[in-house]
Structures are given as structure tokens and as C-alpha cells.
Amino acid sequence: MAEDCVRNFRSHYYEKVGFRGVEEKRSLELLLKEEPLDLEKLCMFTQRFPIPALYRVMVWKVLLGILPSYQSCHGAVAQQRTEQYKDLKHAVDLLHLVSIKTPIPTVCLHMYRVEMGLTPLDLEIEEPKDDEDDFLAIASTMSELAESELDAYWLSRCFVLQFNSKHADSLPHLPKSLEHYLALEELRLLQHLKVCGALVRLPYSRWFRRCFAGSLPNSSLERVWDKVISGSCKLLVFVALAILISFKMTIMKMNMADGIVGFLENVHFDLYSLYFKSHTLFKNNLSSNMSMQI
């Protein structure tokens, strides 16, 4: 307990002098020295703090199961991942699904389809589906964040698989949840959105199914994805809430649903204020058993 007090005091001090990240980075480094890696602790860390950029891809890979918890196996497993990637890449080449000009996210999508057994019978007739657009948006972001095409594929593949298996059931409830918190925070805004028919038409699929891929700049998106990858999809609701509250003045001036939806789909969100706003909202609204300390 006393240790906690000292620690909190120190964190508070670091925060005041602007070195807030220093201690976080150190504690993450300690966690990353453990053998095997403690996934639960890593998730808890990631739920509380943004991952320092230097370690982000490594931590994501572990939390997404691309690399195992035993670091002594990382080399051997990475070798398998590379071979699997090469096999799939070769297959999409052979099937004439891609050329050297094909953008990386599209290459990833075709590889994913082959791996999941989703290639259509006639390869020339292609109808893009909604879930494939979601995959493409996520893969576009991943290919910008990852250093190689190999990492881009594995991160996109495992992010989508993990997200669908963990959160597919919660997704339909997120709009309701957003409405609930909006009623608590900004009742007038909620009523305005309802009256002009915009509430049901908010860009929920971009926000929730794509986890804001393509809607937020990468620098804030990666912080949101830290939380999603470590197991929380509820944060998505608070990011949406923060967006609505941030643009309350503009939205209140618009009376047409089309205008509001178009505005929200195209607006460029300011990353930092948004990030901190959504976390404050997240913290304030969560029951005390959730360990959010931002």
C-alpha cells in the first residue's frame, strides 16, 4: 500500500514535470523481460497506458498471438509465420489476384481470403463485401504502422480475427451504449440528433466495425487500438462520444441528418484532445472495478 502511495506520488510528479512516459516505459520494459511474458499483466498495462512506440508492434504481436508468450520460442515461431506468409503471397500471385502494382492492403485481403477459404469460384467476378471493406480499412492502417508487408499481413489478419471472435456479439449493442452515455453527458445534443433523424445514421460501421480505421489519424488510432487489442471494445463508444461532444457546437447548428452524417464522416479529428477526452469519459463512466487510471 505504502509502495503504491510512493509510486502514485512519483507518477504524479513525472506527470507534472512532463516526464509521464518515463516510468511507464520502464515498467513496460520490466514486463517485457519476464519469461514467459505475463499476458494478463501486459493487458492491464495496455489498458492503463499507451504503449511506447518503440514496443508497440512487439506488444501487439504478443497480445494478438502472432508471437507466443515464451520469448525463447519467438525466433522459431517467427520463422513459421514468415513461411506461411510467403506461401500465401505466392498463391495470390499464382492465382493472378495481384500484381506488383496492387496496394499492400489489397494484397493482404486476397491472402486473407485464400487463407480463410473465402476465394470465389470465378476469380474474375468480384463483388466487394462490407466486411471486406472493413478489412481493407484496417489493413491500410496496419500497413502504415508496420515496418514490413509481412507484419502488415499478420497484424491485420490477427486483429480482425481476434476482434470478431471477442467482440462480434457486443458490436450491435455499441450504438445503444453510445446513446446511453450521450444522455448522461449531453442530453440536448442527443435530443437534437434524434429530432433530425441523425442518431440512427451515425457512421457506426466506420466507428465500431473498423475501430475508427480511416476516421482517426494514426497517431491517435494506435492508442485506441492499444486498448482494443488488449481486450476493450467499450473504449470505442467513448471515442465516438468524445467526437460528438467535441463537435457539439457545429452539430447543433445543423438540422439535416445528411449534413451531420457527412460532416462526421469527413471531419479530421484533433488527436490529443480527443484521446484525453475519451479517456476521461471512459474513466468517469466505468465502475470502480475497471482499472483505468488515466
Partner 1 sequence: LLETAKIQAREQLKSVESKYQAQKRVVQALERHLLDLYSKLDNRKEQVQAVAARVSRDE
- 212: which 3 cell numbers? 475508427
What three-state secondary structure class fits 19? coil
- 238: which 3 cell numbers? 467513448
Give the shortest CB-123-to-partner 1 separation in angstroms.
6
Question: SS in 3 state form for 80-113?
Answer: HHHHHHHHHHHHHHHCCCCCCCCCHHHHHHHHHH
From residue 13 to residue 42, the character string flagging contacts with partner 1 as x (rule: CB under 8 A) and all else as - is -----------------------x------
Residue 68 interacts with partner 1 (CB under 8 A): yes or no: yes
| Position 164, amino acid | N
Q: Name which position in 77, 161, 196, 254 contacts partner 1 (CB under 8 A).
A: 77
Do 181 and 277 touch, CB atoms closer than 8 A? Answer: no
Please identify, among the stretches 87-95, 161-169, 207-215, 251-259, the one whose residues bind partner 1 according to the rule CB under 8 A.
87-95
What is the DSSP secondary structure assignment for residue 8, as one 8-state letter? H
Residue 116 interacts with partner 1 (CB under 8 A): yes or no: yes
How many residues bind partner 1 (CB under 8 A)? The answer is 26
Give the shortest CB-89-to-partner 1 separation in angstroms.
10
Residue 217 interacts with partner 1 (CB under 8 A): yes or no: no
Q: Name which position in 22, 43, 58, 91 contacts partner 1 (CB under 8 A).
A: 91
Residue 95 interacts with partner 1 (CB under 8 A): yes or no: yes
Do 20 and 8 touch, CB atoms closer than 8 A? Answer: no
Residues whose CB falls within 8 Å of the CB of residue 72, separated by 6 or more in sequence, listed in order = 35
Give residues in contact with partner 1 (CB under 8 A).
Answer: 36, 68-70, 72-73, 76-77, 80-81, 83-84, 87-88, 90-91, 94-95, 114-117, 119, 121-123
